[in-house]
Amino acid sequence: MATETVDALAVQALDLAKNALLVRLRFMNAAFARLRPLPVPGATLATDGAYIRFDSASFARNYAAEPAFAAHAFLHMTLHNVFLHLYTDARVDTLRWDTACDIAVEHVMTQLDIPAARTEAMARQQATLAEIEANLNIITAETIYRYLVDTVADDERIRAMREPFLVDDHAPWHAMAAEESAKSKDPESTRTEESDTQRTDAATQAAQDGTDAELPEDADKREKSHSSRRGLKQEDIVQKEAPENAAEAVGKRFANTVNLDRSREQWKNAAYEMGVQLDTYVQLWGVEGSNLSMNLRSVTREKQDYREFLRKFARMGEHMRINDDEFDYVYYCYGLSRYGNLPLIEPLEYSEEKRVRDFVVAIDTSASTKDGLVRKFIEKTYSILSDETGFFADMNVLIIQCDAEIADVTRIGSLPDLEHYLDDLEIKGLGGTDFRPVFSYVDAALERGEFTDLAGLIYFTDGQGTYPARKPDYEAAFVFVDDDAGVTVPVWAMKVVLEEKVLLDDDL
């Protein structure tokens, strides 16, 4: 059978699969429409945010063996895009991230239980899904990834765990992440990449449409070429065909990073639209759509700048520093020129700035809060507060570790104290969770006069605990990581949601 015929049949199978899914998933119409089929001989099944790439012959064999394969694969890859799984970090543990993304997507598909996408492999997923459900309250790729990193050290076990969930090739995702990372270090590479992308886009369109492939540099010569052909005989003019290496050009185009930010924003908008429409069908889906809604909220939720958040706790105060805003160089220079080394006005040695002096950092050390993230949270908070516009030199900070009761209290009076604390940091507690002892301790410290101007308290936690019944006399905020944000805090408290990569990224 001719290659063109096989390609056409494979594309038709994908289109039929999409229509079969839309019968039950009408709210995903816009998301489905964003992905276009891209047959490439010898390619693996994969998506890059714009295309679904596949080898037609291999796709046809799988479809013949199990008709539900096409719909299952199409929905699987669409959900990867909607949940923004493609836009990862080059430093991520590739094996565990790929496994987490596949498990998260298949978990949603299992809940939706679409007959047209029901494959035999789904029966072999149940043991792993049961383990994940037993250990995680909120199931997204991020929470599963954290679970796998913390609990499964054996790579072979991870591969065996992933096998029933494996549908597509994630290698293009990590290629994009690596290119994006390299591009951020070498901005000059962007111009070359854009030029190459224009060339391969033209070749891709020519290969798909069967038309001439006009490359960018050809456009500059278009007028000259047409002019020169006027003196030629018709039989001497040979139509330029699509390049023989069109498939190679398509492969280069696939998973490029030129429009990565725009693609991510478009899929985020698609996720938002899906979430709105899914609410319309809430009576139809009920519990079956709950995990899909949870993942969509995770994607569309606005992430907060932790640095800017900490600045909300700053207070005005004097800081030993030349105040350039109130210093007049005219009189200063006049005095030097008139009297030699005797300036008329000395620079002001103090400036009024917003900084943090009295502060409390509480750490939930219960078993549900991971040791690694606790340590990273303290380090991240330290790195921000130790910034030259973050802390006064004479700081008064309490770092309190608490589970069901207070396990440790450390007072920090200077940046060297904070550095020593981090060097000797030992996480204590790891029992249940009760937030009230920390607030009681801080209230008592205020009564004893240990704080002169308490800026506030931030509590790093997973939110699973007992909150105080009344608002304290100072600002308080609960900080969560990723999808722990589903927890509701008291109306008097601030709620901050951080991405795990913000804690793990030393450059943020």
Query: Do residue 149 and residue 80 come from a single domain?
Result: yes
**Residues whose CB is less than 8 angstroms from the CB of residue 478 and which lie 6 or more positions away in sequence, other chains included:** 458, 459, 461, 463, 489, 493, 494, 495, 496
Counting beta carbons within 10 angstroms of the beta carbon of residue 379, is it exposed (0 to 12), middle (13 to 18) or buried (19 or more)? Answer: middle
- With a cut of 90, say whether residue 94 has pLDDT above it: yes
166-205 tens-digit pLDDT: 999 999 999 888 888 777 766 555 555 555 555 545 544 5
User: Does the residue 347 lie in any domain?
Assistant: no
pLDDT value of position 219: 44
pLDDT value of position 354: 52
User: Does the residue 322 lie in any domain?
Assistant: no
pLDDT band at 258 (very low <50, low <70, confident <90, very high): low
CA angle (373 as vertex; 490, 158 as ends), nearest 5: 120
Q: Give the dihedral sign, CA 78/99/503/275.
A: positive
Provide DSSP, 368-417: TS-HHHHHHHHHHHHHHHTSTTTEEEEEEEEEEEESSSEEEEEEE-SHHH
Sequence-ordered alpha helix ranges (H) in 155-281: 155-162, 171-185, 189-209, 216-220, 222-229, 246-253, 260-280
CATH number (domain holding residue 370)? 3.40.50.410
pLDDT value of position 323: 52
User: Does the residue 68 lie in any domain?
Assistant: yes
204-213, 377-386, 449-458, 466-475 — which is least confidently predicted?
204-213
Query: Do residue 179 and residue 190 come from a single domain?
Result: no
User: Does the residue 332 lie in any domain?
Assistant: no
Percent of the chain predicted with pLDDT > 70: 64
User: Does the residue 489 lie in any domain?
Assistant: yes
The one-letter amino acid at 458: I
**Prediction pTM value:** 0.62
Rounded CA-CA distance 203/248 in Å is: 9
Query: Do residue 245 and residue 362 come from a single domain?
Result: no
User: Does the residue 351 lie in any domain?
Assistant: no
CA angle (403 as vertex; 400, 408 as ends), nearest 5: 35
Rounded CA-CA distance 9/15 in Å is: 10
Query: Do residue 162 and residue 48 come from a single domain?
Result: yes
Strand, helix or coil for residue 356: strand
Structure tokens that stand for 155 in this block: 């790579």
User: Does the residue 336 lie in any domain?
Assistant: no
Rounded CA-CA distance 220/223 in Å is: 7
pLDDT value of position 128: 95
Check if the beta carbon of residue 104 is closer than 8 Å to that of residue 145: no
pLDDT band at 11 (very low <50, low <70, confident <90, very high): very high
Number of other CB atoms surrounding residue 245 within 10 Å? 12
Strand, helix or coil for residue 282: helix
- With a cut of 90, say whether residue 380 has pLDDT above it: no
Instruction: Describe the crossing of helices 171-185 and 189-209 by its angle, rounded to 10 degrees.
Output: 150
**Residues whose CB is less than 8 angstroms from the CB of residue 345 and which lie 6 or more positions away in sequence, other chains included:** 327, 328, 331, 332, 335
pLDDT value of position 377: 79
Domain that holds residue 216: 186-232+241-253
Query: Do residue 411 and residue 485 come from a single domain?
Result: yes
What is the pLDDT averaged over residues 224-248? Answer: 41
| Reduced 3-state DSSP string for 436-501 | HHHHHHHHHHHHCCCCCCEEEEEEECCCCCECCCCCCCCCEEEEEEHHHHHCCCCCCCEEEEECHH
Query: Do residue 80 and residue 212 come from a single domain?
Result: no
What is the pLDDT averaged over residues 498-503? Answer: 63
Query: Do residue 310 and residue 290 come from a single domain?
Result: no
Percent of the chain predicted with pLDDT > 90: 27
pLDDT band at 441 (very low <50, low <70, confident <90, very high): very high
Name residue, tokens 């139509």. Answer: 239
User: Which DSSP category does 364 fall into?
Assistant: E
Q: How far is CA 442 from CA 409, 430, 451, in A?
A: 11, 21, 9
Number of other CB atoms surrounding residue 474 within 10 Å? 19
Rounded CA-CA distance 500/508 in Å is: 12
pLDDT band at 417 (very low <50, low <70, confident <90, very high): confident
pLDDT value of position 328: 61
pLDDT value of position 419: 79
- With a cut of 90, say whether residue 501 has pLDDT above it: no
- With a cut of 80, say whether residue 281 has pLDDT above it: no
298-343 tens-digit pLDDT: 655 555 667 777 767 765 444 445 555 555 667 667 777 777 776 6
Which residues of 234-336 form beta strands (DSSP E)? 315-320
Structure tokens that stand for 126 in this block: 């149940």
Query: Do residue 311 and residue 296 come from a single domain?
Result: no
Query: Do residue 95 and residue 191 come from a single domain?
Result: no
Query: Do residue 178 and residue 204 come from a single domain?
Result: no
Rounded CA-CA distance 250/199 in Å is: 10
User: Does the residue 249 lie in any domain?
Assistant: yes
Rounded CA-CA distance 302/300 in Å is: 6
- With a cut of 50, say whether residue 242 has pLDDT above it: no
Largest interatomic CA distance in the chain: 101
Query: Do residue 179 and residue 113 come from a single domain?
Result: yes
Rounded CA-CA distance 73/84 in Å is: 17
- With a cut of 80, say whether residue 92 has pLDDT above it: yes
CA angle (120 as vertex; 118, 122 as ends), nearest 5: 70
Check if the beta carbon of residue 89 is closer than 8 Å to that of residue 501: yes
Q: How many domains does the chain have?
A: 3
pLDDT value of position 91: 85
Number of other CB atoms surrounding residue 368 within 10 Å? 17
Query: Do residue 272 and residue 154 come from a single domain?
Result: yes
Task: Count CA within 13 A, CB hemisphere, residue 78.
Answer: 30
Sequence-ordered alpha helix ranges (H) in 432-486: 436-447
Check if the beta carbon of residue 300 is closer than 8 Å to that of residue 271: yes
Check if the beta carbon of residue 214 is closer than 8 Å to that of residue 202: yes
pLDDT band at 213 (very low <50, low <70, confident <90, very high): very low
**Residues whose CB is less than 8 angstroms from the CB of residue 257 and which lie 6 or more positions away in sequence, other chains included:** 176, 179, 180, 183, 193
